[in-house]
Amino acid sequence: MPNRFFYAVVTLIIPLVLCLPTAQAQEGKSGGSIIVTYKDDIVTLDPAIGYDWVNWSMIKSIFSRLLDYKPGTTELVPSLAESYEISKDGLTYTFALRKGVKFHNGRELVADDVKYSIERTNNPKTESPGAGFYDMIAGMEAFKKGKAIEVKGIAVLGKHSIKFTLDRRDATFLHVMALNFSSVVPKEIVDKEGKDFGKRPVGSGAYSVAEWKLGQQLIFKKNPSYFVAGVPKLDQITFQVGLEPMTAMLKLEKGEADVAGDGIPPAKFLEIKNNPKYAGMIIEGGQLQTGYISLNVQMKPFDDPRVRQAVNMAVNKDRIVKIINNRAVPAVQPLPPSMPGHDKSFTGYPYDPAKAKEVLKSAGLEKGFKTTMYVFNVDPNPRIAQAIQQDLKEIGIEVALKSLAQANVIAAGGKPKTAPMIWSGGMAWIADFPDPSNFYGPILGCTGATPGGWNWSWYCNKDLDKRAAAADAMSDPARSAERAQAWRTVFTDIMKDAPWVPVFHEQRFTFRSKRLGGPDSLYVDPVRIPINYDHIYIKG
């Protein structure tokens, strides 16, 4: 009996050992197919629900929207809409839809589908995280509150024509129509699949979902009847999930993968960047992101603007950027450099600890004070927080660090008078769409300064709120320069009150195999993060 037991186990192991040599034959991908890896599982591909940076670009490729962005840029272009007209008063937008666009199931996409999709996103039952973006549409509030069965401001004029009426002029409306949440979905499939639509999505985008094994892989197949000629370039994309960034790098090195979706692991960054072997495989690009320290203006002593200014002068941003291996550029204002409205000439509060001490003295705090900073407990954030702690110690401010899970930091930020300081790294703020408005309302405006909101400084300046609203009312595309200027001064004026210490703007680094082609901008697409799946191709 022991022998039998023993041999049973041995026979189990022998096949495993025997298959070692055959494992070498791992090559052989088909011509038009690439592999992209991610650490985390893909949560959902329902465009009304998906809101993380793994599924963001995937959803863009499966579905289409009235408008989209020119690949690799932040320039809005018509997509499902062939053209659109804005009324003189800026309150109605009439879109002419392309004819003959088909969902993946073969049914033609018509104006009713557009109306249905926007209403679905805003129906509280859908639980869409994007429902907050559509409030400018007339009748939206009544619809959300259940007082109306449809949104009055969305009118289907014909099979291929749809009109939106707004309550107020709003320059962000066209961007909102290009958001994933505005993707057009077929009602009959949504009804059939219910909550599982996100696992079996049907859209009208460049790719359709061919196979999805939860926790393992997702396969995109080219949509042969996609309405943009010659797009997509690839026949197939396989997304392998559950791979740690380190493992993904090794896979890429061996040619077993083409794009490391999570980027280069911080610990390996310098080694890989400086290794000539990887020349041409790393693509750097800007990101619509700002990492900042929020200073709670409702809590002492940060209720005094002088204290907040002193903190701004005391933080050595260059050193922090070095700590993260130059994967960012130092920030002096809330808006990132590639965002319209960014002020190139603005210098903010240059690093000057001596002056910071003086300002602190003028606020009656020459002996300094004790405070607490909340920080997300994943590298590199605790290291950055420690650098800030050291900087502030120089001017007499003793900062205790509270290093917590992401959800807990966010919860603390949204509670009044709880977190005096928060280092926003790993949580905030990346723009939802390339418009300065998105960097104001939720994080610096009065609307965000509510329990559960994202305005962690609890800064609320009614005058600036009015100016922001006025800037957003300049919806005529011809006034875009004037609008950018208006936003520019809103943000530089915010810095006078200094509710934030803007620390840096993260850069993005995409690691991809050498066989992939297409302009670099596609691999650091500002809108399709991390990459634009529709337009990339395999070289040669």
Q: Does 357 bind another protein (CB under 8 A)?
A: no
Q: Which of 334, 336, 425, 442 binds another protein (CB under 8 A)?
A: 442
Beta strands in 120-182 (DSSP E): 154-158, 161-165
Part in contact with another protein (CB under 8 A); list of ranges 127-135, 220-228, 353-361, 522-530:
127-135
> Between residues 357 and 512, which has the closer beta carbon with respect to another protein?
512
How far apart are the C-alpha atoms of 258 and 380, rounded to whole Å? 26
Rounded to 5 degrees, what are φ and ψ at 384?
Answer: -65, -40
How far apart are the C-alpha atoms of 477 and 3, rounded to whole Å? 83
> Between residues 84 and 133, which has the closer beta carbon with respect to another protein?
133
Q: How far is the CB of 256 from another protein (least distance, A)?
A: 6
How far apart are the C-alpha atoms of 62 and 75, rounded to whole Å? 20
Q: Under rule CB under 8 A, how many of the chain's residues touch another protein?
A: 70
Q: Does 29 bind another protein (CB under 8 A)?
A: no
Identity of the amino acid at 439: F
Q: Does 51 bind another protein (CB under 8 A)?
A: yes
Q: Write out the DSSP string of 235-271.
A: SEEEEEES--HHHHHHHHHTTS-SEETT---GGGHHH
Q: Does 124 bind another protein (CB under 8 A)?
A: yes
Q: Which of 117, 165, 240, 289 binds another protein (CB under 8 A)?
A: 240
Q: Name the token pair of 87.
A: 């009324």
Q: Identify any residues that bridge with 96 across adjacent strands, giving them in sequence order.
A: 83, 161
How far apart are the C-alpha atoms of 364 and 358, rounded to whole Å? 10
Q: Which of 32, 132, 139, 266 binds another protein (CB under 8 A)?
A: 132
Q: Does 284 bind another protein (CB under 8 A)?
A: no
Residue owning tokens 């896979």: 251
Q: Does 129 bind another protein (CB under 8 A)?
A: yes
Q: For residue 344, give the nearest of 471, 482, 488 by alpha carbon.
A: 488
How far apart are the C-alpha atoms of 404 and 108, rounded to whole Å? 49
Q: Does 267 bind another protein (CB under 8 A)?
A: no
> Between residues 154 and 249, which has the closer beta carbon with respect to another protein?
249
Q: Name the token pair of 366.
A: 């020459």
Q: Name the token pair of 519.
A: 């302009």
Q: Does 210 bind another protein (CB under 8 A)?
A: no
Left (φ > 0), alpha (ψ -120 to 50) or beta: where does 296 sit?
Answer: beta
How far apart are the C-alpha atoms of 491 and 265, rounded to whole Å? 33
Q: For residue 94, give the nearest of 25, 172, 177 by alpha carbon.
A: 177
| Strands 508-512 and 369-376, sheet pairing | unpaired
Part in contact with another protein (CB under 8 A); list of ranges 242-250, 270-278, 319-327, 331-339:
242-250
Q: Does 22 bind another protein (CB under 8 A)?
A: yes
Q: Is 367 exposed, middle or buried (0-12, 13-18, 19+ CB in 10 A)?
A: exposed
Rounded to 5 degrees, what are φ and ψ at 178?
Answer: -100, 0
Q: Does 157 bind another protein (CB under 8 A)?
A: no
Q: How far is the CB of 399 from another protein (least distance, A)?
A: 21
Q: Which of 33, 40, 94, 168 binds another protein (CB under 8 A)?
A: 40
Q: Does 176 bind another protein (CB under 8 A)?
A: no
Q: How far is the CB of 230 from another protein (least distance, A)?
A: 32
Q: How far is the CB of 453 from another protein (least distance, A)?
A: 9
Q: Identify any residues that bridge with 37 across adjacent strands, giving them in sequence order.
A: 240, 260
Part in contact with another protein (CB under 8 A); list of ranges 70-78, 234-242, 305-313, 366-374:
234-242
Q: Which of 118, 209, 218, 410 binds another protein (CB under 8 A)?
A: 410
Site string for another protein, 60-99 (x = CB under 8 A): ----------------------------------------
Q: Which of 195, 300, 466, 514 binds another protein (CB under 8 A)?
A: 195
Q: Name the token pair of 274.
A: 């400086």
| Strands 282-285 and 508-512, sheet pairing | antiparallel
Q: Which of 34, 36, 49, 375 binds another protein (CB under 8 A)?
A: 49
Q: How far is the CB of 67 from another protein (least distance, A)?
A: 19
Q: Does 354 bind another protein (CB under 8 A)?
A: no
Q: Does 247 bind another protein (CB under 8 A)?
A: yes
Site string for another protein, 451-490 (x = CB under 8 A): -x-x------------------------------------
Residue owning tokens 């107020």: 168
Direct distance between the N- and C-terminal alpha carbons of the chain, in angstroms, rounded to an integer:
62
Rounded to 5 degrees, what are φ and ψ at 485?
Answer: -65, -45
Interacting residues toward another protein by CB under 8 A:
1-3, 5-6, 9-10, 12-13, 15-16, 19-24, 26, 37, 40-41, 43-44, 46, 49, 51, 124-125, 127-133, 144-145, 195-196, 198-199, 213-216, 240-244, 246-247, 250-251, 253-254, 256, 405, 407-408, 410-412, 414, 428, 432, 442, 450, 452, 454
